[in-house]
Amino acid sequence: MADTKKLENRRRFLKIATLGMGGAVTALMSVPLLRFFLHPVGRRMVSTPEAPIDVAGVADIVAGAAPVRLPIIASGVRDAWNRLEDVAVGSCWLQKDEAGTVKAFSAVCPHLGCSVDFSQASNDFRCPCHNSAFAKDGTKKDDGPAKRGLDPLEVSIVDGRIRVRYQRFRNDIAEREPV
């Protein structure tokens, strides 16, 4: 009887020890996996540069001419686990008036986000999706469903180069609200 009791205690101990060791190994192996999947939690998923981005030389934009569409290329963008180099984050329309002041407008229609083109014939910006129209200064014309004018972008000139701070705005609302 005493041998049977010792045998049962021994089996019970081995069963508990095996379960304990298996649990410990599982816990240790799951830590790296959990860290990998939880890495982006609490962090900005997509980050683009907050600083203005160099897009063109001041001499490249002719005063009084039609606006020029230029891509805005960020040197680095972080997206959850990835870091990408030289990514086109959007585009803008640049124009220079006779006084030499450079203005930039987002090439995104404030209605539903379609790409806005400049029409040489009517000398204004047009959205091909829903026929919204915008004057050369970016203000909304009576045509189309857009609730506001084109979104202006912050422009700075450093060492003869035009820098634009690219920003996205919420679509289909009357006020400009950064996203």
**Same-domain status, 145 and 73:** yes
- The per-residue pLDDT for 1 is 60
89 & 157 share domain: yes
In a shared domain, residues 2 and 76? no
Domain match, 24 and 61 both:
no
Whether the CB-CB separation of 171 and 113 falls below 8 Å is answered with: yes
Residue 22's domain comprises 1-38
Which of 53-57, 68-72, 85-89, 174-178 bottoms out in mean pLDDT, i.e. has the lowest? 85-89
pLDDT digits (tens, 9 = 90+) for 8-65: 888 899 999 999 999 999 999 898 888 877 776 766 655 566 778 889 888 888 888 8
Give yes or no: residues 58 and 146 share one domain.
yes
Which SS3 state, helix, strand or coil, does residue 142 take?
A: coil
Alpha-carbon gap, residue 109 to 132, rounded angstroms: 8
Domain count across the chain: 2
pLDDT, tens digit (0-9, with 9 covering 90-100), for 83-108 = 788 888 889 999 998 888 999 999 99
CATH code, domain with 85? 2.102.10.10
Q: Evaluate if residue 148 carries a pLDDT over 70.
A: yes
Residue 178 lies in a domain: no
Query: Is position 175 within any domain?
Result: no
Q: Which residue has the tokens 């609730």?
A: 147
149 domain residue, yes or no? yes
Examine residue 176 and state whether it is found in any structural domain, yes or no. Answer: no
Q: Give the tens place of pLDDT for each residue, 114-139.
A: 999 999 999 999 999 888 999 999 99
pLDDT of residue 43: 64
